[in-house]
Amino acid sequence: MKPDREQATLTKGHTMRGKGEGSVFKDSRGLWNGVIELPPLNGERRRKTIRRKNKKDLLDALAQAKSELRRLGDLPTQNQTVEQWFRYWLKQVSKEVRPNTFDGYKRTVENHIIPSIGTVKLDKLTAAHVRRVHDGILAKGLSSTTALLAHRAMSVSLKMAMREGRIGRNPAQLTAPPRVAAKTLDVLTLPESVALLKDTLESDNGVRDATYLLTAARRGEIIGLEEDRLGDVLDLSWQLQRILYSHGCGGKCGARRGADCPDRTINVPADYEYRHIVDGLYWTRPKSRKGWRVIPLVDPLRSILEQHMSQMPANPHGLVFAREDGRPIDPKQASADWRSVMKERFGEDRYVRLHDLRHTTVDLLLLAGVPEDIVMEIVGHSTRAQTREYKSRANVDRLRLGMEQMSMLFTPHELERRREIGA
């Protein structure tokens, strides 16, 4: 009688494979083992081992695991660390969120989460580890806002880990998020706004600064404004942003960071709208359609912009505001220019951020008696749900009236009247 071939092979400890089974074998403890190859992480080979008492149960478990691998792209492993998980999560989330949101996630992971708890096993992660990240950020002298952003990144990431069955519960939801310290925003008064408007119009960047002040537009909306979106209204349906991209050439083009590359690639969601300008600068849509605004153009801004356009050299990108060489204005440079204006006028004691000019414009609109719903339309900074259609032409007349009411604050008669009453 011939010896049992399967038993003979098992005795030698060799791998037993049926057709299509992959790596299947029986160990010294009598358990059936199956090994599945997982996507490499940081260049290292990764495998998942499944064990069952009999071969049929093992093959069923392997089939289910392979199905999950095809569906999810990866599988949980008992020895997966927090660092390995978060790097995997970053690759997945890069296809789901806006580029700047992803950039914030990546910096938080690299600078705070991995250095603090990266070596912890993912399935051993607790609320105490989450608080360790909070405490580490605050110990560096960073703000509570940074700690809160880290908490939110952990919460989003670990929610996905729980959904994929890698952990049983989300540790970030078991501890309270950091409280953000209260801040008092510095805004310009009406006399300061008038004086600043006069001063900025005499400077190189004055027209751009006046546009910020008189529209409540965001930084990227103004430096990205195109000539064909400027007429009776300002069409703020696009904004200029810098987006980090990868060199598809592997760096062979020799381009510096932020410079152009012929094989540029960026990770964005499928529904993300963008148009390339040059280098790492793009026109992108605001976060939601509620952010797409049409602002009626009235004096004094209308006359200011008309004069600016008549004197401005043409640039290849059709921008209303550009550098002397015709290239777009980088967002960081726009902020630096505004800081110089603030420092020159107020010194080191006060600083109104460029984005906070929006609050100044809101104050001016309310001071002019503009109804709150019109203010919300003009600045695009709603605090309650809006159901009406986005910026229909029927709204433009009401918006124009609101802008004209604010402009009346700057007439000589009104300024003299307010001086007399001490307003």
Per DSSP, 274 falls in state: E
Instruction: Going from the first residue of the chain to its last (423 residues), give the mean pLDDT of each consecutive group of 10, the final group possibly shorter.
Output: 39 43 82 87 76 91 86 71 92 87 94 96 93 96 94 96 84 92 75 80 80 88 93 90 72 54 70 87 80 82 89 91 93 91 81 81 76 76 37 53 80 81 72
Task: Write down the pLDDT at residue 129.
Answer: 96
410 and 340 in a common domain: yes
Residue whose tokens read 């990144």: 153
Measured CA to CA, the distance from residue 128 to residue 134 in angstroms comes to 10
253 and 224 in a common domain: yes
The domain of 354 spans 190-421
C-alpha distances in Å from residue 398, one per residue of 232, 342, 395: 14, 33, 5
Task: Write down the pLDDT at residue 104.
Answer: 93
Structural domain count, the chain = 3
Q: Has residue 181 been placed in a domain? A: no
Measured CA to CA, the distance from residue 52 to residue 31 in angstroms comes to 6
Q: Has residue 77 been placed in a domain? A: no
Q: Record the tokens describing residue 164, joined without a space.
A: 């994929």
Task: Write down the pLDDT at residue 277.
Answer: 92
Q: Has residue 342 been placed in a domain? A: yes
SS3 205: coil
Is the distance from CB of 51 to CB of 58 less than 8 angstroms? Answer: yes
DSSP run (H or E) holding 23: strand 23-26
- Residue 94 CA to chain centroid, in angstroms? 11
Single out the residue of 212, 362, 237 nearest to residue 294, CA to CA: 237
Residue whose tokens read 């978060």: 86
Measured CA to CA, the distance from residue 284 to residue 251 in angstroms comes to 25
Q: Has residue 90 been placed in a domain? A: yes
Task: Write down the pLDDT at residue 389.
Answer: 30
Task: Write down the pLDDT at residue 200.
Answer: 74
What is the identity of the amino acid at 422?
G
Residue 323 CB contacts under 8 Å (≥ 6 apart), including other chains: 329
Last residue of a domain, one of 24, 41, 72: 72
Buried-state track 89-110, b at ≥16 Cβ within 10 A, e below 16: bbeebbeebbbeebebbbebbe
86 and 62 in a common domain: no
Q: Where are the beta strands (DSSP E) in 159-313?
A: 233-236, 239-242, 246-247, 264-265, 274-278, 281-284, 293-296
98 and 41 in a common domain: no
Q: Has residue 180 been placed in a domain? A: no
CA dihedral angle for residue 383, residue 354, residue 291, residue 267, rounded to 10 degrees: -120
Last residue of a domain, one of 29, 53, 72: 72
137 and 42 in a common domain: no
Is the distance from CB of 153 to CB of 113 less than 8 angstroms? Answer: yes
Q: Which pairing describes strands 239-242 and 233-236: parallel, antiparallel, or unpaired?
A: unpaired
Single out the residue of 343, 363, 381 nearest to residue 221, CA to CA: 381
Q: Record the tokens describing residue 248, joined without a space.
A: 């598809």
Name 70's bridge partners. Answer: none
136 and 31 in a common domain: no
CATH of the domain at 91: 1.10.150.130
408 and 342 in a common domain: yes
Q: Has residue 185 been placed in a domain? A: no
Q: Has residue 182 been placed in a domain? A: no
Task: Write down the pLDDT at residue 127.
Answer: 95
Measured CA to CA, the distance from residue 314 to residue 230 in angstroms comes to 15
Helices assigned H by DSSP within 174-238: 190-200, 206-215, 219-223
Task: Write down the pLDDT at residue 206.
Answer: 86
Is the distance from CB of 201 to CB of 301 less than 8 angstroms? Answer: no
CATH of the domain at 387: 1.10.443.10
